[in-house]
Structure 1
Amino acid sequence: MCVKVACVGGGPAGLYLSILLKLRNPSHDITVHERDPEGSTYGWGVTYWRGLLDRLHAHDPESARAVEANSVRWSEGVAHVRDLTTRRPGDEGHGIGRHRLLEILAERARSLGVRLEFEHGITPDDLPDADLIVAADGVHSALRTRHADHFGTAIGTGRNRYLWLGTSKVFEAFTFAFVETGHGWIWCYGYGFGPESSTCVVECAPETWTGLGLDTANEADGLALLEKLFADILDGHPLIGRPSAQWLTFRTLTNRTWHRGNLVLIGDAAHTTHYSVGAGTTLALEDAIALAGALHEQPALPQALDRYERQRRRALLSVQSAARLSARWYENLPRYIDLPPQQMFALLGQRHSPLLPHVPPRLYYRLDRAAGRLETTRRLKRRLGPKLARTMQARASRP
């Protein structure tokens, strides 16, 4: 059955959904409406992990190959604490420029016959005539806000302040830097997303933000101060802001339901997770995969939207829990920062554990190490057990 779909918002979620729907049925009439000019976007680079790339290859190999070819990779993390540095191996991570990701998805959508209408804002009072309207218009979604009571929208605000920046310093690993000041700690997360650029997210407690004067500094003075604080990892490279960049507190958004009639929420319009878990783009693309699948498998729209919402809610539970715990770990940084750097970095990797906030950090580290050794022993026994049993049996059968 041919359907008419209007995606409001030209971010990763709306574009990838349009691609998947066209691949399912080329006769679908699909338009993506984006209020901003083509090529303009916020942010710097986005992160994702191997699991997402595998799913992209399964659903559209052509766009997946382009995304992978334009991504950088890392397989370890580096933490700088005061004048000490420690490294830990990790899962393979990927970074790609948000601008390049949107270019790839837009080119692919156009090639399949999707109409892309830039500089075309959609308001709740001027909705397109369509069988399905997809609200992919972000955390500040106007379409969702009009019916906030129906959706049960709730927004929680984090305590810490953060600023999203770029830099010409190319980080070869996912990099953390924690700097002690006379007003408390300030830290950054740095990761590459191209051959000449990295993202650098700076975060601190509100007392540090005001104590350092970052609340009143103009853009140039603020960047100069941050470059001085993080000089050891920037190696002389500048930090780069945007004209509209500002210090924010993170907004965690949830909704009681994700659809109303023929209007459905996707991506940040439906949910947000703290940036420290690096899942925003992944979740948006996975929403698109789930919605496209539900629309294909359920011919009736209400049942399809119900199925999409149930599936994604279940998938989000663990990610949202991890994001809340991750944000809390950074808000409680003084609890961990005086540990030896190797231990602190290990607990940074364990920040998603619901037990960590309730167990003394040094004790938790020892217990985690002991559990790791026990699990290693168990894996070794599982691998060598059958071979050892055959050897013992052979010896016993000898005359």
Structure 2
Amino acid sequence: MKVACVGGGPAGLYLAILLKLQDPSRDVTVHERNSEGSAYGWGVTYWRGLLDRLHDHDPESARAIEQSSVRWNHGVAHVRDQVTRQPGDEGHGIGRHRLLGILAGRARSLGVRLEFESEVTAAEPPQADLVVAADGVHSVLRTHHADHFGVQLREGRNHYVWLGTSKVFDAFTFAFVETGHGWIWAYGYGCSGEHSTCVVECSPETFTGLGLDRADEGEGLALLEKLFAGILDGHPLFGRSSTGGAPWLRFRTLTNRTWHRDNLVLLGDAAHTTHYSIGAGTTLALEDAMCLAAALREHTTLPAALAAYERRRRSELLSAQSAARYSAQWYENLPRYIELPPHRMFALLGQRHSPLLPYVPPQLYYGIDKAAGRLQILRRLKHRLGPTAARALHARSTADRG
């Protein structure tokens, strides 16, 4: 089988690796329009579950990714002049440039052809048995067949910008700053021993009120450095490492009615996007690659493999897509939560994926969640003690109330 992956991001490179591991005789080429080493962006996040799956599929690249990642197991929230810290699951951060370098090196070692500065057009798609559109939300091949794929784009309300900083955060760090034009907030996480990623977000009213819509890059960064001085400790903010630019955007959620057409299939952000606030974009792209590779191994015909891939991934994505929608809404409705005591606000920040939270008063939801947590602890304790001891505890509690 001859395979052409259009797009040299994590999804395209990892799929190429998996296809060569399955069958070294496969002819696999990755086409990337940019030059090698010019990856944009700063760091990406992932969690232990993804790392375990990477080890299952290709231990060599997984070890290199793990060794190049930084870790944290706490979250910190700064609200005005108050700070709260909470333990959490172990998170990982790695520079996008470093991640792509690891995957490109591994792909080459397996015999994948990497063609950089290779601009693929819809008029002249690659000649291959399978063409994989892994070229992101602006996918050229998908756009050319937009009516077939049933492309839908929904733009979010808030503005955001993706930045880097030389401040190395030791925890996943949130900072909420009140201005005369409303709230602006940032979340930062380490991606190497020298840098962190810092995403800044605000409402349209705050964006224009602060003049960020009119500021040039230098003026905008200087203002943000002043606003977030409390977490930056004198360190600067940077725009994209490859272009120097720092464009403000509004997140666009992309969906497609179908993910394949003849021998063309969508992968990663070309097929779907999920709001950056759940930190799952790269994870979902890599999982797409795992699923497509498995479908090609398990099915003898290409149509059956592509149909199985789409069916399985659509089902698996439902939970993440729901979490992303509610997460974006939480930030778009920040004033609803921000006046809570910081530890309570932070607790509800962790619950922002809940479909119930938008419909329950925040203080009431916090109380219900705490009570549910205590009940769950009691249930676990009763299970460990066994039925006899549990009945004794219940009898003692009843006697005390009497």
TM range (shorter): over 0.9
Distance 2:26 2:217 in 1: 47
Alignment of 1:130-149 (within 5 A): 130-149=128-147
SS at 1:79 equivalent:
strand
CA shift, 1:389, in A, is 8.1
1:257 corresponds to which letter in structure 2? T
2:302 corresponds to which letter in structure 1? L
1:301 corresponds to: 302
- Is 1:274 aligned to residue 275 of structure 2? yes
- Is 1:228 aligned to residue 226 of structure 2? yes
1:333 corresponds to: 334
1:239 aligned to 237, 240, 249, which one? 237
Distance 2:339 2:390 in 1: 48
Equivalenced residues, count = 390
2:161 corresponds to which letter in structure 1? L
- Is 1:82 aligned to residue 80 of structure 2? yes
Tell whether the 8 Å contact from 2:29 to 2:113 is kept in structure 1 after alignment: yes
1:180 corresponds to: 178
Distance 2:111 2:144 in 1: 31
Residues 104 and 366 of structure 1: is their aligned pair in 2 closer, same or farther, counting only changes over 3 Å? same
CA shift, 1:245, in A, is 2.4
Distance 2:381 2:2 in 1: 56
Tell whether the 8 Å contact from 2:382 to 2:390 is kept in structure 1 after alignment: no
Distance 1:391 1:85 in 2: 42
RMSD in angstroms over aligned alpha carbons?
A: 1.3
2:105 aligned to 104, 107, 131, which one? 107
Tell whether the 8 Å contact from 2:51 to 2:62 is kept in structure 1 after alignment: yes
Runs of 4+ in 1 over 4 A off after TM superposition: 389-392
1:14 aligned to 9, 12, 18, which one? 12
1:152 corresponds to: 150
Listed one character per residue, the Cα deviations across residues 321-379 of structure 1 (whole Å, up to 9, x for unaligned) are 00000000000000000000000000000000000000000000000000000001001
Distance 1:299 1:121 in 2: 31
CA shift, 1:388, in A, is 3.8
1:253 corresponds to: 254
2:324 corresponds to: 323
Distance 1:254 1:45 in 2: 24
CA shift, 1:391, in A, is 11
1:263 corresponds to: 264
1:227 corresponds to which letter in structure 2? E
2:338 corresponds to which letter in structure 1? I
Listed one character per residue, the Cα deviations across residues 222-274 of structure 1 (whole Å, up to 9, x for unaligned) are 10000000001000000011333210000000001000000000000000000
2:41 corresponds to: 43
CA shift, 1:385, in A, is 1.0
SS at 1:54 equivalent:
helix
Tell whether the 8 Å contact from 2:217 to 2:245 is kept in structure 1 after alignment: no
Listed one character per residue, the Cα deviations across residues 45-88 of structure 1 (whole Å, up to 9, x for unaligned) are 00000000000000000000000000000001000000000011
1:396 corresponds to: none
1:285 corresponds to: 286
Alignment of 1:117-132 (within 5 A): 117-132=115-130
SS at 1:139 equivalent:
coil
Unaligned 5+ runs, structure 2: 394-402
Distance 1:386 1:65 in 2: 45
2:313 corresponds to: 312
Listed one character per residue, the Cα deviations across residues 144-170 of structure 1 (whole Å, up to 9, x for unaligned) are 001111101100000000000000000
SS at 1:322 equivalent:
helix
Distance 1:212 1:292 in 2: 48
1:97 corresponds to: 95
Residues 6 and 339 of structure 1: is their aligned pair in 2 closer, same or farther, counting only changes over 3 Å? same
Distance 1:51 1:386 in 2: 34
TM-score (norm 2): 0.96
1:207 corresponds to which letter in structure 2? E
CA shift, 1:17, in A, is 0.1
SS at 2:74 equivalent:
strand
Distance 1:327 1:143 in 2: 28
Distance 2:129 2:387 in 1: 59
Distance 2:66 2:277 in 1: 22
Distance 1:55 1:269 in 2: 22
Residues 343 and 26 of structure 1: is their aligned pair in 2 closer, same or farther, counting only changes over 3 Å? same
TM-score (norm 1): 0.96
SS at 1:194 equivalent:
coil
1:355 corresponds to: 356
Listed one character per residue, the Cα deviations across residues 108-130 of structure 1 (whole Å, up to 9, x for unaligned) are 00000000000001111111110
Listed one character per residue, the Cα deviations across residues 134-153 of structure 1 (whole Å, up to 9, x for unaligned) are 00000000100011111011
Distance 2:338 2:318 in 1: 29
1:24 corresponds to which letter in structure 2? Q
Distance 2:362 2:19 in 1: 48
SS at 1:64 equivalent:
helix
Distance 1:275 1:107 in 2: 27
Tell whether the 8 Å contact from 2:181 to 2:209 is kept in structure 1 after alignment: yes
